[in-house]
A and B are shown apart, each in its own frame.
Chain A
Amino acid sequence: MELILEGIAKAVALLTSLDREVMAITWLSLKVSGSATLISLLLGISGGTALALSDFRGKRLLVSLVNTGMALPPVVVGLFVSIFFWRNGPLGFAEILYTPVAMIIAQAIIATPIVMGITVASIQNLPPNLRLQILALGATRGQMVWLLVREARLPLLAGVMAGFGGVISEVGASIMVGGNIKGYTRVLTTATVMETGRGNFDVAIALSLILLLLCFAINYLLTRIQQRERPR
């Protein structure tokens, strides 16, 4: 109990003194996971919409693959991204292993199936007649897709939250492809693992609290948008 209080005190101290290293680590977490989430939104929403609105042989298999991908273990992603980006590996010429870019790539791979799976579900959940109705009003196919995505925006926001939540809290892949390099690829989760290993539990608790606070702030923002637009 004493330790938890110490951790909270440490967190307050780190936050109020605006400790430069902690601020930099927090900012990097936000940048890496934010970029990965945005990339996953582009890929996931466009891919998921296309998948939901099209009809072809093997669609069920593809959808179940996407849904399996929602449970993609981050360490598996980390391992494969590392192998591909080793400098003597197939994509080694890019020289991005142990950089924030590698972390963004790994996290985007983790988040994309989550966003895509939720997109497929939310688009398919729209009333089936809505599509016919939009077309009957003379919309082009592009306009129809846009209107459907608009209509599904509230469940899609849940997809954003799930995707972001999945990657900001992720540690296995980040430590493997980023390497936890001080001042460069050290994010809140990898720093927490390291401080725990060093026995600096108060710092580790403080970092965890900052991470929780960050997640709460982002999700509060998104939830406000979602709830403001909630159809009554």
Chain B
Amino acid sequence: MNQWQRLVFSLLTVVALFVTGICGSAAAASKTLILATTTSTQDSGLLDILIPAFEKESGYFVKTIAVGSGQAMAMGEKGEADVLLVHSPDAEKKFMDKGAGVNRRLVMHNDFVIVGPAIDPAKIRGTKSSAEAFKKIATSGSLFLSRGDNSGTHAKEKGLWKGAGITADGQKWYQQTGLGMGQTLNVAAEKKGYTLTDRATYLALKKSLGLEILVEGDAKLLNIYHVIGVNQAKWPKVNAAGAKAFGDFMVGKKVQDVIGRFGVDKFGAPLFFPDAGKKPESLGL
């Protein structure tokens, strides 16, 4: 063999080794679980704590796919995920009515806040009602950044515009980023615009943003997370046992305590409030 034949031969060997090595590690696929979730649970860092604990306890390997709530439910509707952790209650009800999900359980909540630049061109600081704040933004024509990605946050925001009686879509001051929460906050900070965000992602990013919380505390701004198993009767390939195990894990006492403490050491206040076992009505749903 000359030099070039040897080179080709060794390249082939390396490919074979890599591919078999990687296939080997993927062989234990039956114990895997696909979790489709919102970007907020990943960007806040909560899942970095919970997922390894679940994997250790249950023996499942979790493939976390962080997308918006809308895409997560679309994956569930096609049987492409096993379990969802989402925050879009109205869309979740439709999802359940279609028979796409099973065993929907309340996990936790935090709240949405309206953030914007410190100079606050629309003068919404301290407004008690989110509808009024949205009206002020619209009438002053101040820039508002929407995620525009069918995520739970986007669904909430659309509901708020509707509640305020405003058609924001197509207005010049209303821009859709089509990005996750973290990146939309970055865009809002750069363009000095307003946006609606969940508190957890905002606090996690606050240091680099220069945006301030201007409106908070309205009951309409509650952000409620549910865990939902995908219906195995509809999609036989769904890992129902794993989905149930993950749901049980999320509402278990130990994890609920972890959720309640998460973020306290870093932000001085919790990012999420554990709600397992509570009646949805007690949160005003």
Contacts and interface: CB of A to CB of B under 8 A. Distances in A.
Given A196-B183, A199-B182, A201-B208, 17 more contacts: A31-B22, A34-B14, A38-B14, A42-B15, A87-B79, A88-B80, A95-B29, A96-B26, A99-B22, A101-B26, A150-B4, A180-B66, A181-B63, A194-B66, A197-B183, A198-B45, A199-B209
Nearest to A96: B26
Contact of A88 (B34, B78, B182): B78
B64 A181 contact: yes
Nearest to B13: A38
A179 B34 CA distance: 10
Contacts of B39: 197
A199 B207 contact: yes
Contacts, number: 88
Interface in B1-34: 4, 11-12, 14-15, 18-19, 22-23, 26, 29, 34
A71 to B, nearest CB: 23
B12 A42 contact: yes
A80 to B, nearest CB: 15
A125 B29 CA distance: 48
A104 B19 CA distance: 9
A42 B66 CA distance: 35
Interface residues of A, number: 31
A24 interface: no
Q: Which 5 A-B pairs have the closest CB atoms?
A: A199-B205, A197-B182, A35-B18, A38-B15, A199-B208
Contact of B63 (A34, A98, A194): A98
B95 interface: no
Interface string B157-200: 00000000000000000000001111101100000000000000
A220 interface: no
27 contacts: A34-B18, A35-B15, A35-B19, A38-B11, A38-B12, A38-B14, A38-B18, A42-B11, A88-B80, A95-B29, A98-B34, A98-B63, A99-B26, A100-B26, A101-B22, A101-B23, A104-B18, A179-B65, A180-B66, A181-B63, A184-B63, A197-B39, A197-B181, A197-B183, A198-B204, A199-B182, A199-B207
B220 to A, nearest CB: 26
Interface of A: 31, 34-35, 38-39, 41-42, 86-88, 92, 95-96, 98-101, 104, 150, 153, 179-182, 184, 194, 196-199, 201
A98 B51 CA distance: 17
Nearest to A102: B26
Interface in B74-113: 78-80
B48 interface: yes
Interface residues of B, number: 40
Contacts of B19: 35, 101, 104
Interface string B201-229: 00011011100000000000000000000
A153 B208 CA distance: 49
Nearest to B189: A199
Interface in B27-78: 29, 34, 39, 42-43, 45, 48, 51, 61, 63-66, 78
Contacts of A150: 4
A194 B42 contact: yes
Contacts of B180: 197
Contacts of A104: 18-19, 22
Contacts of A198: 43, 45, 182, 204-205
A95 B79 CA distance: 13
A88 B209 contact: no
A174 B29 CA distance: 20
